Structure 1
Amino acid sequence: MPDVRLGSSQGKWILLTTVLGSSMAMLDSTVVNVALPTIGRDLDASLAALQWTVNAYMVTLAGLILLGGSLGDRYGRRRVFVLGVVWFAAASLLCGLAPDPVVLIAARALQGVGGALLTPGSLALIQASFHPDDRSRAVGLWSGFGGVGAAVGPFLGGWLVDGPGWRWVFLLNVPLALLCAPIAVRHVPESASGPGKGRFDVLGAGLGALALALLTYALIEAGGGGRGVAVSAVLGLAAAVAFVYVEKHRADPMLPPGIFASRRFTAVNLVTLCVYAAFGGFFFLTALQLQVVSGYSPLQAGTALLPTTVLMLLFSARSGALADRTGPRLPLTVGPLLCAAAMLLMLRVGVDADYLTDVLPALLVMGAGMVTLVAPLTATVLASVDTARAGLASGINNAAARAAGLVAVAALPLLTGMGPEAYRSPVAFDAAFSRAMPICAGVLLLGAVLAFTLIRRPPPGCRHPDCRTFCNVAAPPLESGRRT
């Protein structure tokens, strides 16, 4: 039984290294969007290249995150966590030194592999190391510190872009890793679930990532037409069909189809797809809109986005407690509706937008909607399956959220008619942004309808403090545990 106490020096070191590790991945998901216009100008990149700067990371992370959790369970959570930290730092260094968009995109894909190794391990190390009496408090502190990191991420990104330059958005991960990895090796006890039975579902993970990559490529490049787009779309669909076939017939699948026998689990994942698709498109386009159209500097744009994560940090715990009493149906219906209203309010943000009267009201409503729905969403996922499958359920939900975000970033420019150079023209980008926000609002409205229609029975009270204080906007929190 794990016996490390939170108040001990070892306990403090464990908490520090897990916070540092998770913060690397969290910061990267919040600071990169702010840097995109500057990256585009510096590397002479097209809009498609900027989309891939976001999505290359998301493709490998979403495709491999379940496999990363299983690797930690099998071969040692500390070992895989440290490997992920070092891998992530090396890929970040390559991102920071990238001479052109092609190298940057390849490095971002490698970053996603590192993220898939370290992200599941961060929380797993806490739950595998601390004494049961201290575990909940340790997880709550981990979530709270991570929330602070996510909240300051956009501000930090803007400051780095305006100051030392956009490359430091990535290079910042290197000193964090140099601090994190040695602490983990020295102070964190190794833990594993043992070799178990069966084999790793490498084929399933590969097919899933390949399907995401090919379909994303087809969406991003569809504006240019050509046979390559059609071939990519067909191959992507074929890979998706093969993925479903393999998972259905494999003895030890990465994503066992039987978990979707729970109607509530299936329903809440459909809501997740809608919610995080809208979030992904919103934060990608808003960071560009504020700089390209409204004339904000990167620092101003990053600071402007702070209210959403600050509200989540301050009020998620209360929202989670309220949802325990009311059940998930109400918050999962009202939350998306509030976020949809916020996206319609963003239509006021144009040339020379005033922050207090145009930008802030929309972001406050957005933050209120996210506070309302994020904690109940994760709690409902964990309550919809047996306790033994909580880690698997959470991993699937996290991967679904990230996949939804990358599809939105790929599809919205196509749906709104953004050309390759749209982000260089305030008029063209503003027109496309005005078409994108109603689309995002419509997707959220669909999520609200699904929640109201399909989610009925309230789950038991959420006993997961990470659900209530997690403040990253890119994906729900991961619950550790055996994933197969």
Structure 2
Amino acid sequence: MKRLDAGRVGAPSGSAEGTSASVRWALAGLSLSMLLSSLGTSTANVGLPTLAQVFSASFQQVQWIVLAYLLAITTLIVSVGRLGDMIGRRRLLLSGISLFTVASVLCGLAPTLWLLIAARAAQGLGAATMMALTMAFVGETVPKARTGSAMGLLGTMSSIGTALGPSLGGLLLAGPGWRAIFLVNAPLGVLALFLARRHLPADRRDAKSGRGRFDHVGTLLLALTLGAYALAMTVGRGSFGPLGIALLLTAVLGAGLFVRAEARAASPLIRLAVFRDPLLSASLGTSALVSTVMMTTLVVGPFYLSRALGLGEALVGLVLSVGPLVAALTGVPAGRIADRFGAHRMTVAGLAGVAVGCGALSVTSVTLGVAGYILPLVVTTAGYAVFQTANNTAVMADVGPDQRGVISGVLNLSRNLGLVTGASVMGAVFALASATTDVTTAHPGAVAHGMRITFAVAATLIVAAIALAVGGRTLARRRPGGGRYPGA
């Protein structure tokens, strides 16, 4: 743990007790950063109907309050990870927390809708920095043997933010008003900034990490590519008209140009050689597939619970909160299990749990009532928590210091792309399986049938993810030398 003590104020050098306390406080700062980035999405979603009334705007206009935040994260998370590797992760994380905090205040004080949207984009940039660099800092703050536990803690805080957001947002809307859902981030941001500044290890500029220039061309191409894809998935909502098709074609063209630019760049944003590692490629692919499936519970669940089971809004919200609550309770134990039994083994075990849960949802009946939905959901979410913690640990445990930021950014990106894809594609599968153009008015039997078909597709995707994880592990064992991240 000498790395933690070097170059910062904190515990006395050489004090094991002081070092342990510094590790805990450093993790507290990282955890709070992860919590804030999750709250930034979930609390704003609840306020959209109110904001539409306040600003006399349509839903298509106020949805940009959420889209601006998500697009900023999706398009920039890899770039800020790489920038952190180059100029210093501590310095950039402190800047990201500061930006998030200031932007939160600007959101709460915004006099017009478009100024609010602009402030949300700035808040998203801060959140992208926080998400990318918190995971990257784990390797510098905890021993390798405890990487899983630390990843589990970060996953737990992310789940708590997702679960807490709707209820916290509702309370703030009913009390102080809509501005409070943004201003509440300010004191938490100040606390996170204090903890990070006080306890995170100082940046070290070695010859390798300091060499080269930032890849502006690659950054621009990747941002345009990801932005076009995310807009196609979110604005189109599964119905691809001319605009959606044009955006998808733009994303495909941008991806090709990005790969070409990275292959020629002297100091690329992403070293394409790292994707030759079968473990990394499999981990990113499984992360995207599992996130796609998990979004199904948020897309399909509300309609099944309200239309097929006839639950009221309050009960629907309560049932939907079970998933994030289970993930929050499972995260830390999952990290300890990953440390004990191995990250790769627990990755497959977590995927198996998700597959069992989705399979159970694909055959459940309305006669089983709410229990027929909640019990498989608990299995699915617990499996997801185990998978996410173990998969993140497997990816980040052996990354070199000069690549932690960008690899963390790519890992977070795979998850975000899975979420936006799941919202669109699985929503389209649900609508098609329900044989209706408007799910909100569909017959309860049709909704139940659509739910079962959609989760059958989800279970199939998880089986493919298991095959990908096992195949990646097999290929890695056959590689000469078994090295990780070639060319890094």
Same fold (TM over 0.5): yes
Choose from 397, 412, 417 the match for 2:411.
397
The equivalent residue for 1:334 is 352
Alignment of 1:204-353 (within 5 A): 204-222=218-236, 227-284=242-299, 286=301, 294-297=311-314, 300=318, 303-313=321-331, 315-317=333-335, 319-320=337-338, 324=342, 327=345, 330-331=348-349, 333-341=351-359, 343-344=361-362, 348=366
Note closer, same or farther for the CA distance 1:42–1:145 as it changes in structure 2 (3 Å cut). same
CA distance in 2, matches of 1:135, 1:167: 42
299-308 or 78-87: bigger deviation:
299-308
CA distance in 1, matches of 2:255, 2:281: 18
Note closer, same or farther for the CA distance 1:373–1:39 as it changes in structure 2 (3 Å cut). farther
CA distance in 2, matches of 1:287, 1:221: 20
Contact 1:273 1:400 in 2 (8 A): yes
Q: CA deviation at 1:338?
A: 2.3
Unaligned runs of 5+ in 2: 6-10, 477-484
Q: Structure 1, residues 162-182: CA drift from partner, whole Å, max 9, x if none?
A: 443555443321111122324
Alignment of 1:415-430 (within 5 A): 416-417=430-431, 426-428=440-442
Unaligned runs of 5+ in 1: 461-480
Code of the aligned partner of 2:229: L
Q: Structure 1, residues 141-173: CA drift from partner, whole Å, max 9, x if none?
A: 685376256336424531431443555443321
Choose from 71, 75, 88 the match for 1:63.
75
Q: Structure 1, residues 283-311: CA drift from partner, whole Å, max 9, x if none?
A: 35546776797322386366444443144
Choose from 182, 189, 195 the match for 1:177.
189
The equivalent residue for 2:482 is none
Task: Specify the SS of the correspondent of 2:204.
Answer: coil
Code of the aligned partner of 1:113: L
Alignment of 1:443-482 (within 5 A): 443-452=458-467, 455-456=470-471, 457=473
Contact 2:77 2:128 in 1 (8 A): yes
TM-score, length of structure 2 as denominator length: 0.74
CA distance in 2, matches of 1:318, 1:187: 23
Code of the aligned partner of 1:294: L
The equivalent residue for 2:123 is 111
Contact 1:207 1:239 in 2 (8 A): yes
Note closer, same or farther for the CA distance 1:230–1:375 as it changes in structure 2 (3 Å cut). closer
User: What is the percentage of aligned positions where both structures have the same residue?
Assistant: 23
Alignment of 1:116-155 (within 5 A): 116-125=128-137, 127-128=139-140, 130=141, 140=149, 143-144=152-153, 147-148=156-157, 150-151=159-160, 153-155=162-164
Q: Structure 1, residues 370-414: CA drift from partner, whole Å, max 9, x if none?
A: 144323333443478778756544432221111121222244445
Q: Structure 1, residues 241-260: CA drift from partner, whole Å, max 9, x if none?
A: 21222122212222222112
79-88 or 119-128: bigger deviation:
119-128
Note closer, same or farther for the CA distance 1:459–1:197 as it changes in structure 2 (3 Å cut). same
Code of the aligned partner of 2:313: Y
Q: CA deviation at 1:434?
A: 6.1
Note closer, same or farther for the CA distance 1:170–1:318 as it changes in structure 2 (3 Å cut). same
* Count of residues in correspondence between the two structures: 453
Contact 1:271 1:448 in 2 (8 A): no
CA distance in 1, matches of 2:452, 2:118: 30
Code of the aligned partner of 1:23: L
Q: CA deviation at 1:35?
A: 5.4
The equivalent residue for 1:474 is none
Choose from 387, 398, 408 the match for 2:422.
408
Task: Specify the SS of the correspondent of 1:190.
Answer: coil
Note closer, same or farther for the CA distance 1:7–1:161 as it changes in structure 2 (3 Å cut). farther
Note closer, same or farther for the CA distance 1:458–1:260 as it changes in structure 2 (3 Å cut). same
Note closer, same or farther for the CA distance 1:183–1:384 as it changes in structure 2 (3 Å cut). closer
Code of the aligned partner of 2:294: F
Q: CA deviation at 1:100?
A: 7.0
Please tell me whether Structure 1 or Structure 2 has the larger radius of gyration of its CA atoms. 2
Note closer, same or farther for the CA distance 1:380–1:210 as it changes in structure 2 (3 Å cut). same
Q: CA deviation at 1:211?
A: 1.5
CA distance in 1, matches of 2:28, 2:217: 35
Task: Specify the SS of the correspondent of 1:364.
Answer: helix
Code of the aligned partner of 1:91: A
Note closer, same or farther for the CA distance 1:286–1:237 as it changes in structure 2 (3 Å cut). same
Choose from 340, 351, 361 the match for 2:375.
361
The equivalent residue for 2:93 is 81
Q: CA deviation at 1:332?
A: 5.8
Code of the aligned partner of 1:265: L
